[in-house]
């Protein structure tokens, strides 16, 4: 028997888990649970400091402004971003990627240019580029994978030609867990002067990313996948690019001066944060960053690796189970699998009856599912509050589903 792996973070810190003692929550790649400290930080903000930031001359408005900007600084520090004003708050990864494609893309991509994305992408890092290509007449090219679900880097290199304006790639695949070689991808993009855009939705929660040191031109992430609240995430982009590109949305706060005929833009980050901002989101996310810092991101990573390896090994030993994606060395804390004779949706419903929450479906990665020749997979994803008891419950549930459905 392998030694038991306890949760890295106490379940008691997470009110949802404390309220549901038998629950095995294995869907953190979709969204994470929230520690009480995050929920408390949000409540405290509303109880003590709520007003519309940047707008009032009174002390309470100054407190709201301070809470908002102090949170930006803490989140930037956690993510390894020195110039905090290049962290633009968005609703999440989806909005951040749409912002780049709409604002930078429309200003910089034209007919005959090329946009390269990878076969692994979540729809959020695929569709905005596909639409931009269709609108501008640029060529949209997909970099294919090796049989094990890693990027075929030789083919990718040959696709990134001097006409390429954008290379968009995920740091970590949500569907397979593949960890991509970011530094190599950045080098390929920069050799031809293309923009290196990194979807960090599945890396910021799990790795010590150090965005400055990745060398990417743009990095998008979602707070709700890293113990923070829903409705906040961000775009980190090189200052000179943000300063040169047009704004994404127009309205309050993003202007410097509105003339009758034309308008000038506010400085960063305000230029890209039109309208009343989401203050509670950054406040809660900053508390989430503190929580992760206290756990230690290296420990978080090692913990998830241990659970992913255990789950991969135990599931692969069940007849009819195929674990998809690369070997554990090239994978994050995600196990995507199929069970012969059982549809992933049926499997996830049967697992739910055992208190095991997993994701079933195409994982917003239909182009990848086509390449894998499957319609859907079942995906278990691990985080700080999981332990080997969750893996055992998953394995027992899959075995029992197989007995019932296959015989």
Among all residues, which ones are annotated catalytic? 364
Which region among 13-21, 86-94, 103-111, 188-196 touches ligand PLP (by CB under 6 A)? 86-94
Q: Of residues 222, 336, 378, 381, which one binds ligand PLP by CB under 6 A?
A: 222
Q: Which is nearer to ligand PLP, 28 or 388 (CB)?
A: 28
Please state whether the peptide bond connecting residue 169 to the residue before it is cis, i.e. omega within 30 degrees of 0. Answer: no
Is residue 8 a contact point for ligand PLP (CB under 6 A)? no
Residue from 32, 98, 180, 202 in contact with ligand PLP (CB under 6 A): 202
Query: What are residue 194's DSSP bridge partners?
Result: none
Q: What distances in angstroms separate CA 332 from CA 94, 306, 361, one per listed residue?
A: 21, 10, 19
Q: At closest approach, how far in Å is the CB of 117 from ligand PLP?
A: 12
Hey, which bits of 134-180 come out as E strands? 139-143, 164-170
CA distance linking residue 91 with residue 99, whole number of Å = 11
Q: Does 280 bind ligand PLP (CB under 6 A)?
A: no
Q: Site for ligand PLP (CB under 6 A): which residue of 28, 33, 49, 93?
A: 93
Q: Which two tokens stand for residue 13?
A: 């810190």
Contact (Cβ atoms closer than 8 angstroms) between residue 311 and residue 386: no
In whole angstroms, give the CA distance from residue 191 to residue 329.
28
Pick the binder of ligand PLP from 9, 42, 138, 201 (CB under 6 A).
Answer: 201
Q: Does 27 bind ligand PLP (CB under 6 A)?
A: no
CB 118 within 8 A of CB 143: yes
Is 54 within 8 Å of 196 (Cβ atoms)?
A: no
Cβ(160)–Cβ(192) below 8 Å: yes
Largest CA distance in the chain: 75
CB atoms closer than 10 angstroms to residue 179: 20
x-marked contacts with ligand PLP along 141-180 as a string, rule CB under 6 A: -----------------------------x---x------
Site map (CB under 6 A) of ligand PLP, residues 109-148, x = contact = -------------x-xx-----------------------
Over the window 307 to 336, marking each residue x when it contacts ligand PLP by CB under 6 A and - when it does not, the resulting string is: ------------------------------
The contact set with ligand PLP (CB under 6 A) reads 92-94, 122, 124-125, 170, 174, 199, 201-202, 222, 233
């Amino acid at each position: 028997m392998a030694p038991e792996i306890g949760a890295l973070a106490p379940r008691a810190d997470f009110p949802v888990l404390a309220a549901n003692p038998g629950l095995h929550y294995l869907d953190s790649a979709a969204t994470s649970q929230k520690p009480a400290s995050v929920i408390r930080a949000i409540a405290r903000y509303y109880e003590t400091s709520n007003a519309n930031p940047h707008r009032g001359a009174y002390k309470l408005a100054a407190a709201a402004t301070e809470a908002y900007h102090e949170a930006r600084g803490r989140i930037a520090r956690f993510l390894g971003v020195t110039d905090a004003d290049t962290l633009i708050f968005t609703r999440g990864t989806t909005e951040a990627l749409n912002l780049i494609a709409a604002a930078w893309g429309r200003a910089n991509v034209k007919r005959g240019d090329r946009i390269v994305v990878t076969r692994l992408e979540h729809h959020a890092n695929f569709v905005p580029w596909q639409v931009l290509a269709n609108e501008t007449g640029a060529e949209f090219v997909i970099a294919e994978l090796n049989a094990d679900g890693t990027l075929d880097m030789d083919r990718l290199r040959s696709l990134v030609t001097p006409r390429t304006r954008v290379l968009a790639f995920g740091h970590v695949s949500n569907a397979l867990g593949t960890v991509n070689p970011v530094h190599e991808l950045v080098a390929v993009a920069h050799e031809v002067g293309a923009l290196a855009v990194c979807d960090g939705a599945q890396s910021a929660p799990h790795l010590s990313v150090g965005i400055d040191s990745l060398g990417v031109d743009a990095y998008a992430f979602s707070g709700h996948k890293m113990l923070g609240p829903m409705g906040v995430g961000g775009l980190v982009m090189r200052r000179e690019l943000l300063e040169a590109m047009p704004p994404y949305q127009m309205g309050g706060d993003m202007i410097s001066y509105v003339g009758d005929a034309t308008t000038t833009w506010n400085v960063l980050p305000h230029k890209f944060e039109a309208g009343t901002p989401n203050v509670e989101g950054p406040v809660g996310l900053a508390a989430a960053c503190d929580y992760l810092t206290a756990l230690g991101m290296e420990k978080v990573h090692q913990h998830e690796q241990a659970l992913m390896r255990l789950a991969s090994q135990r599931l692969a030993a069940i007849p009819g189970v195929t674990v998809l994606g690369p070997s554990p060395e090239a994978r994050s804390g995600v196990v995507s699998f199929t069970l012969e004779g059982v549809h992933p949706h049926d499997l996830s419903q049967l697992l739910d009856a055992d208190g095991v929450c997993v994701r079933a479906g195409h994982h917003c990665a239909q182009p990848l599912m086509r390449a894998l020749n499957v319609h859907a997979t079942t995906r278990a994803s691990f985080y700080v509050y999981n332990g080997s008891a969750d893996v055992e419950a998953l394995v027992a549930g899959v075995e029992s589903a197989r007995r019932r459905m296959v015989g």
